Structure 1
Amino acid sequence: MRLPNHTRIQRGLVIAACLIFGIVQLSQAQSTDHDFNPEALDVSWKLVDNAYGESVQYHSTLTLTNTGDEPIPAEGWSLYLNNLAGEVQSEQFELIHKNGDLFTINPTSAFKGLEPGATLELKVTSPGLALNVSSSPYGLYWVWDSKPDDGISIGEYTVEQVDDHEKISLGLQADSPAPMYETVYQQNKQIKSLSADELTKVFPSPVAYEELDQEFQLSADIPIQYNPDFSNEAAYFSKELENIFGRKSEVKTEPTATPKIHLRKGEEPSGEGYELRVTDDAITITASQPAGIFYGIQSVKTLLPPSAWASEESSLVVPGVEVTDAPRFGYRSFMQDVARNFRTKEQILKTLDLMALYKLNVFHFHFNDDEGWRIEIPGLPELTEVGSERGHTLDNHERLQPSYGSGPDSTYPGSGYYSTEDFIDILKYATERHIRVIPEIETPGHARAAIKSMDARYRRLMKQGKEQEAKKYLLRDPGDTSTYRSVQGWDDNVINVALPSTYAFLEKVVDELAAMYDEAGAPLYRIHMGGDEVPAGVWEQSPVVDQLIAGNPDVESTGDLWSYFYQKVNALLKERGFALYGWEEVGMREALWSGESHSVVDSAFAEQDVQLDVWNNLVGSGDEDLAYRLANGGYKVVLSGVSNFYFDLAYQKAFPEPGLYWGGFQDLEKPFSFIPYNFYKNARIDRFGRKLNDSYYQDMERLTDEGRANIVGIQGLLWGEKLISRERQEYMLLPKLLGLAERAWAPQPDWALEADSSTWNSEYNRDWNRFVNKVGMRELPRLDHYSGGFEYRIPTAGATVINEEVKANVQMPGFTIRYTTDGSEPTINSREYIRPIPSEEMIKFRVFNRSGRGGRTIKVEL
């Protein structure tokens, strides 16, 4: 489910201390007087290269500058930080791993202190590759040994930009083209601007669409006539029109004079399908179910001019159309991680607005993980009192340690939670928009926040002498001495599945969540129970596990605990009328082939209506067929592949681009190009940019007819490790979400079935060109203002040099390229790129949207 984090533990930090200025010897008394103010410490990080030594590792430097009036002591302090590991090259400092991605840099006896005004460069060699700004350490703060409970923020921390693209094109990345702007130009050169008349005005693409030579004049004065079965949808439509016209439209069930808006009930289309007809005297939406009416309303909204939400309107023209439409997949999901970094209720509601507009109908709510528990559970106050708070701590008793740069203080986005009232509001809002909210309770791994919270509860009740009550919801065996390390570096994040209290806890959480759904009137059928990334070594030294093995003939070893746990969880859910949902590992087991361990499909739950998110389609990994194997094996499968739908991956391989890259890079085209029933067809480049040979997929499993029926839908996922703000959330989400919406709703495109490669390419390029025109000309301008506006990513320009002239282009029509030749940053007032520019020593290009907001600047040096 997640990245093989390059900050793997069991490593030391490489630090070679090089003093540019003087070092001063301080006495023990001086080192504990705290004359030095940590706010006077400035730190910068710089990537040096990605080809350091013979193994896969990179070289960077941390530069410490004392800007204060007092020397930095030779001892008595630690510098805390997230996301840095390596090997020590000097005896003056050591790196100590605390847990997760948290480390400390500590001076040794060889360090003699740092004078005011002096600078110290720490050389670091780390495993893996550093390809963008998200590789840098962050969350730095200072702690005095004499005041170990106090974390103090340092002065300035900066990450130096990398202009030399070759630094991120070495090692395993050497096959990727460079420089980046040339690569982007080549990717964009097939894109041609289309006229408005050539664009389908309903998004995502409908099943059937025809424009009429008519138009409807829409205003708040026009009442909405509706079938009584569609009263909720009529009220919703009226509120949506209020966002445009400043007042609601009247809603009524009795016939109205023309012109009118009519929400009409018919026997067809079935399910979520609808028919939409816009003429000069009416807007008529016909459906058999409320969901169909709702999606017809969304189509009317995408027919409106993109500027409709920019300011209050008196009336708008709606083009005449006839549309017959229904979704390709009934399960169209977006997963939001709020555990790693919190998103406020208002941000969640805004995301639900976005999902509704583009006809997504499932919100997978990843609300707990190692780094946070985000929903208040009545009767278990520690889950939010402890589990939702992050900050400096020595014991994780009152809050969790800093993760992902959250720093020493308990602030947003590291900390935060939803009250029961907040969560009920979210459920009501989603339900009104025909979005099902599926809660994910991460078990048995990725559960550190829950474990530490229940430890806090245990301590509280033990102090009160309530031993039996204290043990009721305990999630770990106090006698367990097992040693393990998770992919993200935790050594204490797995629930003990042999404890009866584990199941009491899960029953309590499930029952309280179900009560909130009942109060909200929200549907709840499936509950996601996690199931991924449980590391080797867990439970091996647990007395409680030993007792279970001794007393249960079905559990012969710790290897059987996986099936034991999920059988009990499945039964727990079934007793309450819910179905089990989990990550792909729930449907897998280990088996020996030729003396080697392999993961194979486990038939244990295949016939029990168990649904799985299958994330591993990592191109080049050898597991690209996993989703098809599980679907063929009888599991309901949601295609959640990292290679196409992990929206937290960086858009492109450029150092300033934020985001993870362990699964490759992912822009708008990755979700658009996905072929659900034949992923292999156009997945020809691995995550490092290397081309696969023609026979690579020949031995991989293909979907059977039964397996095809078990593919229930598609899901986009946004993990929260790097989502440090609302702006970053929207940047990573958009426009990628539009590719997901198109592929989940629109009919199968012709190119997905085309066997001839030349025909396939021409058909694909034609559809891709139409899609980016619709996104650039209509949908992103709409999102400048819709639901308060979204700060989507504006594409970077592509550029190339031909015959001593510089040419530039952009991925999406509808955007403007501006440039400078004097080294200054292009602004909205800079010259617009219209034709090739005679060669200059340096040209800077920047793309702007219609609102005047600019994207990232690229620099072309000749």
Structure 2
Amino acid sequence: MFILLLTLITLNIELNAQKGSSYDLKKLSIEWQLTTNRYEDGSRALNTLIITNTDKRPFPASGWIIYFSSAREMLPSSPSNGLSCTHVNGDIYQLVPQPGFTGIEPGKSIRTNYITNGFSYNKSGAPTGMYLVWGNQPEKGIPLDNYRIGNNLDTTQVYKTPEAIFTRNTLYSAPDPARLSPVFPTPESFERGTGNFELTSEVAILCGNEYRKEAEFLATALQRVTGKQPVIATAFIRPVRSIQFLPATLPDESYSLMVDTGQVTIQAGSASGFFYGVQSLLTMMPGETTAGRSVSLPVCRITDKPRFGYRSLMVDIGRNFQTKAELKKMLDLMALYKLNTLHLHFSEDEGWRIEMPSLPELTAVGAQRGHPLDSKKNLPPSFGAGPLTGKMPASGYYSRNDFIEILRYASARHIRIIPEVETPGHARAAIKAMDARYDAFSKSGNMTGALQYLLRDTADQSRYSTAQAWTDNVMCVALPSVYSFIERVVDDFRDMYREAGVPLKTIHMGGDEVPDGAWEKSPACLALLKQDSSLTEINDLWYYYYTRVAEILRKRNIEMAGWEEVGMRKTKLAGVKKLIVNPRLANEGYQLHVWNNMVGWGNEDLPYRLANAGYKVILSPVSNNYFDMSYYKHPDEPGFYWGGFTDVDKPFYFIPFDYFRNTTENANGDAVRADAFVGKDLLTDYGKSNIIGLEGLIWSETIRSEANLEYMVLPKLLGLAERAWAPDPAWANEKDTAKMNIAYRKAWSDFAYRIGVMELPRLSTWFGGYRYRIPAPGLVVDAAGVQANLQLPGFTLRYSTDGSEPDLKSRIFTGVIREKGVIRIKAFDKTGRGGRSVSVTVK
């Protein structure tokens, strides 16, 4: 009887699937809405999916599954209206009809609810990449294109209102442009003279052969300005107005720049020094330049050197990919503002983005996302990829030749590229690619080849879940094949760097977020613990792994970098699991990128503790330098916010050697408590010597386009550039808090004027133009009418009075709006591109 019943149920499902597979999915619409945060008074959000059948026939009751990505962790809950949302792996979830679900009648809608962890403040909390799979076609996913994000506003939340933005914007007061530095970032010293140097198409470049490449770079840049590429020569038979490269005894990256009425002289002792002198000369030019016209440069004397030798941007192309052309645009941007290191996060759970000729599976499998979910031919469709492989930005990679080209492009701009091979965690793309290699070799009977680069213990029964909800993304560090894999990848990189003519000095080997539970039930790991007397517990496998990896790199004269956990040890304090600084590896020369310093999380002083212990630290703080964090709390501002909110001022006001002093808000955007840093370690003088640089980071979970990347990076990157290059500002060392605040306000106004009036207009057109974020206006209504202001100067405000979206034909805001109605205001840049509008109703 039971077998007969089961057969009938199975037959019914198959029949429904066959019937459903002919249903026109364009007639199925889905809308997501945020119902409420603080669901049942907890730190949870109630979400609603509204599914509507616009067809003339019913949508079937069974025989289908809808898959989607969710950035917010979905909590277990009972089915809602006959539909159940459950976790698959990573950020992939499924919506499955339960017994008793009757389908959706023509013209009808159903609502189904699910609960997510934490609060949803903007659209990043919405599902993405929805697609359906019919039961009789399990290998085929069909995109659900008729999906929209509906209401994502929670009236219980305190968002940044136009009034709050207006108050914040009053921090700016217009400076006297004549006293500002003529170059950016701010140089060590400058002295303004009298008169100007007229840069025309007749100006030549005087340079010896040693620095010819830097002279050619300048000549190409000047062609964009004057319309003609200058002549470069080692000598002239008659006097000419020129830009002269003059070798001098100066430290690496240092330079001096002298502008006189008849000549410009750049002095430096290295190619990088001349290059940065060139970049300073370029930033002296007006933000708006038209090819073919002359440019007046003010007479001045500048001496300059960087504050930090390591000035970096980390770009994540593992989660979502960026084209070669866009990465080159990022390199141009970095070079202009004197950043010298691209930390390329090319490998992740969700993607491997550089071709390794020795291991083609890494990109054949690891660079493709889509359906099906078994990871045999492609990775799952994380971050809203949808079911179809081969589509940017979920799928894609750089060929070997592409990467060599990128290396040369970066090197010409005095930028080194540090590739990050994420290990032993965050390694799912590599693990699954090597699983595919194992399957192919084992099927052909070549077990030696199958096992050569295998990255997991096939008998491992360990159970764990990562911060990103993956359950199978950690390499088995006990397998010799893991180290064979590392050697193979490192050697492939060495070959590419060698062919590019670029030295490979450092590789970042990851080390981030290996979860509790990994390795605990791996027979290979347990056997290693018995064999090696230096290993006493599972956590010791961490040091075993990094000691072996460091030795692989050391034999090849390559330095090892890693995330902060490389210098940490898991232990217990009063029975509670805790990460502490591990002195055992402090003198190994490891370079640590330390991000975990958010106030309220307990590790506010971690960068300082590691530096004080002897580790070389690159400050990569989530509190100030995570560029993928939303600008501020607003439903229409894109980006994550788990690490707080990062507006353009955050990287600017970061004090590298004492960021406790002006940490003003926690991850929720609320003011910090007065005792937030009580008992935390300050940076010692010895620790200061171990802070070797600053890094801005752009993670790409929410980055789905080039425009989105540029919006999140700019203008935040300009604050990073200023803090990494410019001398320590006087306001940061002022002991009196009131005086510090006054001095900071003046410095902020100078900075805001510089980037709003000079740099952003330049970036509108240079290198093809960048789609930076145009700030939304602040608004207040008082007895006089509607007043508006902006965070940055240099934009034009236009408004409407009927609630319509302002455009270039709308009236210009000149002071106070006295009309009634729905007043909507938007800022526009010099090219006519607009930002986000804001509105207020005046009755």
Superposed pair shares fold, TM > 0.5:
yes
Q: CA deviation at 1:228?
A: 2.7
- Other-structure match for 2:504: 524
SS in 1 for 2:41: coil
Alpha-carbon distance between aligned partners in 2 of 1:30 and 1:710, rounded to the nearest angstrom: 66
- The superposition leaves residues 519-556 of structure 1 with CA deviations (integer Å, 9 ceiling, x where unpaired) of 11112211100001001111111111122112111122
Alpha-carbon distance between aligned partners in 1 of 2:461 and 2:328, rounded to the nearest angstrom: 44
Q: CA deviation at 1:251?
A: 1.4
Contact 1:148/1:394 (8 A) holds in 2 = no
2:657 is the alignment partner of 1:677 = yes
- Other-structure match for 2:165: 184
SS in 1 for 2:48: strand
Alpha-carbon distance between aligned partners in 1 of 2:17 and 2:437, rounded to the nearest angstrom: 39
Contact 2:256/2:277 (8 A) holds in 1 = yes
Q: CA deviation at 1:690?
A: 2.7
Contact 1:192/1:813 (8 A) holds in 2 = no
- The superposition leaves residues 579-606 of structure 1 with CA deviations (integer Å, 9 ceiling, x where unpaired) of 1110000000023333333211101221
- Other-structure match for 1:44: 31
Q: CA deviation at 1:38?
A: 1.7
Alpha-carbon distance between aligned partners in 1 of 2:813 and 2:375, rounded to the nearest angstrom: 55
2:94 is the alignment partner of 1:114 = no
Which of these residues, 68, 79, 84, is aligned with residue 94 of structure 1? Answer: 84
- Other-structure match for 2:377: 398
2:363 is the alignment partner of 1:384 = yes
SS in 1 for 2:510: coil
2:64 is the alignment partner of 1:77 = yes
2:393 is the alignment partner of 1:413 = yes
SS in 2 for 1:216: strand
- The superposition leaves residues 351-385 of structure 1 with CA deviations (integer Å, 9 ceiling, x where unpaired) of 00000000000000000000000000011000000
Alpha-carbon distance between aligned partners in 2 of 1:837 and 1:198, rounded to the nearest angstrom: 33
AA paired with 1:267?
Answer: T
- Other-structure match for 2:604: 624
SS in 2 for 1:779: helix
Contact 2:802/2:821 (8 A) holds in 1 = no
Which of these residues, 229, 238, 241, is aligned with residue 259 of structure 1? Answer: 241
SS in 2 for 1:53: helix
- Other-structure match for 1:58: 45
Q: Which 10-residue stretch deviates more, 119-128 or 538-547?
A: 119-128
- Other-structure match for 1:442: 422
SS in 2 for 1:202: coil
Q: CA deviation at 1:513?
A: 0.2
2:202 is the alignment partner of 1:215 = no
- Counterparts in 2 of 1:91 and 1:797: CA distance versus 1, 3 Å: closer
- Other-structure match for 1:343: 322
For residues 576-725 of structure 1, what are the structure 2 equivalents within 5 Å?
576-725=556-705
Q: CA deviation at 1:165?
A: 6.2
Aligned residues: 825
AA paired with 2:257?
Answer: L
For residues 732-811 of structure 1, what are the structure 2 equivalents within 5 Å?
732-803=712-783, 805-811=785-791
SS in 1 for 2:214: helix
Q: CA deviation at 1:747?
A: 0.6
Q: CA deviation at 1:28?
A: 6.5
- Other-structure match for 1:237: 218
Write out the 4+ residue segments of structure 1 that deviate beyond 6 Å after TM superposition.
none
- Other-structure match for 2:3: none
Q: CA deviation at 1:31?
A: 4.3
AA paired with 1:166?
Answer: T
Query: Percent sequence identity over matched residues?
Result: 44
Q: CA deviation at 1:240?
A: 1.6
AA paired with 1:32?
Answer: Q
AA paired with 1:160?
Answer: G
- Other-structure match for 1:249: 230
Q: CA deviation at 1:195?
A: 4.8
Unmatched 5+ residue regions in structure 1?
A: 1-25, 170-177
- Other-structure match for 1:295: 276
- The superposition leaves residues 277-305 of structure 1 with CA deviations (integer Å, 9 ceiling, x where unpaired) of 11111111000111110000001101111
- Other-structure match for 1:152: 142
Contact 2:777/2:825 (8 A) holds in 1 = yes
Alpha-carbon distance between aligned partners in 2 of 1:472 and 1:810, rounded to the nearest angstrom: 59
2:342 is the alignment partner of 1:352 = no
Alpha-carbon distance between aligned partners in 2 of 1:165 and 1:196, rounded to the nearest angstrom: 43
- The superposition leaves residues 61-110 of structure 1 with CA deviations (integer Å, 9 ceiling, x where unpaired) of 11111122332100000111100624235260112321100011011111
SS in 2 for 1:766: helix
- Counterparts in 2 of 1:800 and 1:547: CA distance versus 1, 3 Å: same
Alpha-carbon distance between aligned partners in 2 of 1:167 and 1:146, rounded to the nearest angstrom: 45
- Other-structure match for 1:463: 443
Which of these residues, 149, 152, 155, is aligned with residue 166 of structure 1? Answer: 155
Q: CA deviation at 1:322?
A: 1.1
- The superposition leaves residues 182-226 of structure 1 with CA deviations (integer Å, 9 ceiling, x where unpaired) of 111110012123354243220001111122222222234322111
AA paired with 2:15?
Answer: A
- Other-structure match for 1:285: 266
Alpha-carbon distance between aligned partners in 1 of 2:65 and 2:678, rounded to the nearest angstrom: 54
Q: CA deviation at 1:155?
A: 3.2
Q: CA deviation at 1:161?
A: 4.3
- The superposition leaves residues 672-708 of structure 1 with CA deviations (integer Å, 9 ceiling, x where unpaired) of 0000000100113212233233232131101111100
Alpha-carbon distance between aligned partners in 1 of 2:710 and 2:160, rounded to the nearest angstrom: 27
SS in 2 for 1:731: helix
Contact 1:797/1:810 (8 A) holds in 2 = yes
Q: Which 10-residue stretch deviates more, 134-143 or 799-808?
A: 799-808
SS in 2 for 1:604: helix
Alpha-carbon distance between aligned partners in 1 of 2:618 and 2:52, rounded to the nearest angstrom: 50
Q: Which 10-residue stretch deviates more, 348-357 or 599-608?
A: 599-608
Contact 1:165/1:179 (8 A) holds in 2 = no
Alpha-carbon distance between aligned partners in 1 of 2:174 and 2:828, rounded to the nearest angstrom: 16
SS in 1 for 2:192: strand
Contact 1:528/1:581 (8 A) holds in 2 = yes
Q: CA deviation at 1:407?
A: 0.6
SS in 2 for 1:834: coil
TM-score (normalizing by structure 2): 0.96
Contact 1:477/1:496 (8 A) holds in 2 = yes
Q: Which 10-residue stretch deviates more, 688-697 or 139-148?
A: 688-697
Alpha-carbon distance between aligned partners in 1 of 2:16 and 2:415, rounded to the nearest angstrom: 62
- The superposition leaves residues 40-66 of structure 1 with CA deviations (integer Å, 9 ceiling, x where unpaired) of 211111112212202111122111111
SS in 2 for 1:645: coil
Alpha-carbon distance between aligned partners in 2 of 1:520 and 1:167, rounded to the nearest angstrom: 56
2:186 is the alignment partner of 1:199 = no
Alpha-carbon distance between aligned partners in 1 of 2:647 and 2:556, rounded to the nearest angstrom: 41
Q: CA deviation at 1:578?
A: 0.8
- Counterparts in 2 of 1:318 and 1:456: CA distance versus 1, 3 Å: same
Q: CA RMSD in A?
A: 1.5
Contact 1:588/1:602 (8 A) holds in 2 = yes
- Other-structure match for 1:364: 343
- Other-structure match for 1:29: 15
- The superposition leaves residues 695-750 of structure 1 with CA deviations (integer Å, 9 ceiling, x where unpaired) of 32131101111100000000000001011000000000000000000000011111
Contact 2:17/2:136 (8 A) holds in 1 = no
TM-score (normalizing by structure 1): 0.94
Contact 1:475/1:499 (8 A) holds in 2 = yes
Alpha-carbon distance between aligned partners in 2 of 1:378 and 1:220, rounded to the nearest angstrom: 47
Contact 2:85/2:114 (8 A) holds in 1 = no
Alpha-carbon distance between aligned partners in 2 of 1:165 and 1:68, rounded to the nearest angstrom: 32
SS in 1 for 2:261: coil
Which of these residues, 493, 496, 500, is aligned with residue 513 of structure 1? Answer: 493
Q: CA deviation at 1:145?
A: 0.8
Contact 1:796/1:810 (8 A) holds in 2 = yes
Alpha-carbon distance between aligned partners in 2 of 1:724 and 1:229, rounded to the nearest angstrom: 43
Unmatched 5+ residue regions in structure 2?
A: 1-11
Contact 1:74/1:114 (8 A) holds in 2 = yes
